[in-house]
Amino acid sequence: MHHPAAEAAGFGQRLETVTSAKDPSTVFDRIGGQPVIDALVDAFYRRMDTSAEAKTIRDMHTDDLAPLAAVLKRYLGEWMGGPKLYSQERGHPRLRMRHMRFAIGPAERDAWMACMTGALEEVVDDTDLRVQLAQSFYKLADWVRNDDGNPHDAQHR
């Protein structure tokens, strides 16, 4: 589902939380709370830091990834329905805008996703949850994309 209000606030494609009368829990609870999100983010940046296919996006980042890892942990906690720690500290995410100075095309999106799907496999045991998260991350990564990778585009002339 599309949530214009959430998108305006910069959280992009908000996670569709699967709930039922039996299981009204948020994704934040289902994944295992902040400790598991922290492990996911650590696995994600370790992959970005070491895998050859992620080299182009690794090079967009500063040498020390630790400060950014701390930010992403709070962002994802909030995105998954946990405490609003990111907004408290940094205000509106403006995620698309914050990524505009980097050229993010399909290749960069896919490299980002490769790191994230690998991290999900490493950290999240629940297959349904893992698939749901991978789909939601893809929507977000494609929403952040600001280049279609087509060399004939006006912006490349």
Interface ranges with ligand HEM (CB under 6 A): 57, 60-61, 68, 71-72, 75, 90, 95, 98-99, 102, 104, 108-109, 112, 140-141, 144
Least distance in Å: CB of 95 to ligand HEM? 6
Query: How far is Cα 69 from Cα 64, in angstroms, rounded to an integer?
Result: 10
- Residue found by looking up tokens 């400060």 in the block: 67
Least distance in Å: CB of 14 to ligand HEM? 11
Least distance in Å: CB of 129 to ligand HEM? 16
Residue with smaller CB distance to ligand HEM, 30 or 140: 140
Contact by Cβ (8 Å): 112, 57: yes
Compute CA distances 28 → 70, 79, 104, 121, 132, whole Å.
Answer: 17, 8, 28, 17, 13
Which residue is nearest to ligand HEM, using beta carbons? Answer: 112
